[in-house]
C-alpha cells in the first residue's frame, strides 16, 4: 500500500493540473499586455516629442528665422501698391516771385510759380510760394517804411529769414530767385564797403541760402 501511494504521488506531481495551466495562460496574457502597454506609452511619448519639435520649428520660422516665400511676395505687392508721397517745392524770392504788377498797383492773379503748378502735380509736387517785395539775398533794407507800415530793415534780409520759411514748408525741392533788389542804389551803396555787387556776388549769396537748406 505504501508503494502504491508513493507511486501515485510521484505520478500526480509530474502531471500538471488544470488549474496550473490556466494560471500559466493568465500569466502569459498578462505579460503580453504589459509589453503592449509599454510599447504604446513609448510610441505616444515619441509622437509627443516629434510634435513638440515641429511646433518649435514652426515658431522659429515665424520669429524670423525663415519667412515663407508667399509672405515675402505679399509684402512686395503691398510696397508696389503704395501711392508715392506728395512733396513740396518752395519758391523763395522777391517781388517777382510774389507777382507784383508793375503796370498797375497790385498783384498778378497768376504768378510765375503758379504757371508751373499743373506740371508739378503730374510729379506729385505741391507748390509753396514765399515771395516778399524788396527782399534781398543777404542785406538789410531800411527804405521800405513808405509802403510797409512798421517794416524793419532785417525783414528783407533773405538769408536771415530763410530758415523759418524753409522749416515751415518742409520742401523736397528749393528754387531761389533773388538778386534784383541787391542792385538798388541804396543796396549798392551799402555793399560797396564790403565788396562789389555783381552777378558773381549775388550768385554766391544765393548759394549761402542753399547751404542753409542743406544744414537743416
Q: How confident is the model over 64-77, as pLDDT tens digits?
A: 445 556 666 666 66
- Measured between alpha carbons, how far is 189 from 187 in angstroms, rounded to an integer? 5
β-strand 173-177 against 125-131: which pairing, if any?
A: unpaired
Cell of 33: 499586455
* Nearest Cα to Cα of residue 175 among 152, 146, 200, 206: 206
Mean pLDDT of 158-175: 95
Residues 6+ apart with CB under 8 A from 202: 137, 178, 179, 182
Q: What pLDDT does residue 194 have?
A: 62
pLDDT class of 185 with cuts at 50, 70, 90: confident
pLDDT of residue 84: 81
Amino acid at each position: 500500500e505504501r508503494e502504491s501511494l508513493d507511486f501515485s504521488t510521484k505520478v500526480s506531481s509530474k502531471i500538471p493540473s488544470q488549474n496550473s495551466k490556466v494560471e500559466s495562460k493568465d500569466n502569459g496574457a498578462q505579460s503580453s499586455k504589459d509589453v503592449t502597454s509599454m510599447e504604446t506609452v513609448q510610441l505616444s511619448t515619441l509622437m509627443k516629442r516629434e510634435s513638440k519639435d515641429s511646433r518649435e520649428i514652426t515658431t522659429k520660422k515665424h520669429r524670423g528665422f525663415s519667412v515663407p516665400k508667399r509672405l515675402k511676395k505679399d509684402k512686395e505687392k503691398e510696397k508696389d501698391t503704395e501711392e508715392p508721397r506728395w512733396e513740396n517745392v518752395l519758391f523763395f524770392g522777391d517781388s517777382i516771385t510774389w507777382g507784383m504788377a508793375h503796370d498797375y498797383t497790385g498783384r498778378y492773379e497768376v504768378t510765375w510759380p503758379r504757371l508751373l503748378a499743373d506740371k508739378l502735380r503730374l510729379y506729385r509736387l505741391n507748390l509753396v510760394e514765399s515771395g516778399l517785395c524788396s527782399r534781398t539775398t543777404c542785406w538789410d533794407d531800411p527804405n521800405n517804411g513808405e509802403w510797409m507800415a512798421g517794416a524793419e530793415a532785417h525783414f528783407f534780409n533773405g538769408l536771415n529769414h530763410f530758415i523759418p520759411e524753409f522749416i515751415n514748408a518742409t520742401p523736397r525741392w528749393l528754387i531761389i530767385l533773388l538778386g534784383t533788389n541787391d542792385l538798388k542804389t541804396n543796396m549798392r551803396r551799402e555793399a560797396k564797403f564790403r565788396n562789389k555787387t555783381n552777378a558773381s556776388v549775388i550768385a554766391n549769396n544765393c548759394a549761402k541760402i542753399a547751404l542753409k537748406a542743406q544744414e537743416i
